[in-house]
Amino acid sequence: MTQPLKFLIAGSLIGLGVVLSGLALMALLLPGQTVDQRTGAIGTLLIFGLPPIVMGGALWYLAQQGAQAREAARQRNAFFYLVQQGKGQITVLDFAIAAKLDGDRAKAYLDDRAREFNADFDVSAAGVVRYCFDTALSGAIALPIGQPQYDVILQDYPGRQRQAVETAILRLTDLSEMRVREVIQQSKKRPVAIANGVSQVAAEDLRERLEGLGATVLVILQ
């Protein structure tokens, strides 16, 4: 069921419940009503008036929560993509364009992420503020010629830690969210590379962080 359809159904249920409840209350408040008539009005209110309002309200709430969750996921995906593309650096304007947000909301979002990930700030000569996030592997993207390079292999992870391992790989490597999901699934069948050609420091850092979550990680010299 699509979100617009959920909102439509929820609105219809609430509207129907309000109309029936209103009619029942009007009948209940009319002067000269007998006991049976009042009892019937109360029954109509309880059986036909209030339930649609409750069900419609619950459906509306769930639809609203789903819409907010999707919006949060869209903003998160835009953020991680720009951080990866910018090698850890991102501006408010870049994020506002990618996430389709106004400047104030984009800045508030980046400020929250800066506190979450302990980001630094850099101000250019033109006054442009860049948020600088340490992605752990960003410094290993261009290694000096002749420096040893390492591959990091995910061999296994505890099932209960799947979400934590997935989040760690997404934050610490340049893999896309879709590729991380594929890696997580494949690693239960065979070892899968999650970083290639990185420095020893970056490889060991990634290994230590994942092993801290209970994962089995192998670092191989190329």
Q: How confident is the model at residue 135 (pLDDT cuts 50, 70, 90)?
A: low
How many CB atoms sit inside 10 A of residue 83's CB?
Answer: 24
Orientation angle between helical segments 3-29 and 50-85, nearest 10 degrees: 150
Q: What number is the average pLDDT over the span 202-206?
A: 84
**pLDDT value of position 73:** 81
Token code pair at residue 25: 């209350």
Strands (E), the chain: 89-91, 120-123, 129-132, 150-156, 192-198, 216-221
Q: Quick one: what percent of the chain has pLDDT higher than 90?
A: 5
> In 3-state terms, what secondary structure has residue 106?
helix
Report field, pTM of the whole predicted structure over 0.75: no
- CA distances 88 to 28, 32, 75, 135, 161, Å, are 66, 76, 16, 6, 26
Higher pLDDT pick, 15 / 41: 15
Q: Does 70 score more than 60 pLDDT?
A: yes
Q: Whole-angstrom Cα distance, residue 123 to residue 119?
A: 13
Q: In what order do the strands lie in the sheet with 192-198?
A: 192-198, 150-156, 216-221
Please report the pLDDT score of residue 108 as a whole number: 92
Mean pLDDT of the chain: 82
Mean pLDDT of all residues in 35-48: 83
Mind listing the pLDDT tens digit for each residue in 91-117? 999 899 888 888 899 999 999 988 888
- For residue 210, pLDDT over 70 is answered with yes
Nearest C-alpha neighbor of 48 from the set 13, 12, 7: 13
Q: What is the pLDDT of residues 155-189, one digit of tens each?
A: 888 888 888 898 888 888 888 888 888 888 888 88
Residue 143's pLDDT band, with cuts at 50, 70 and 90, is very low
Q: Is the pLDDT of residue 128 over 80?
A: no
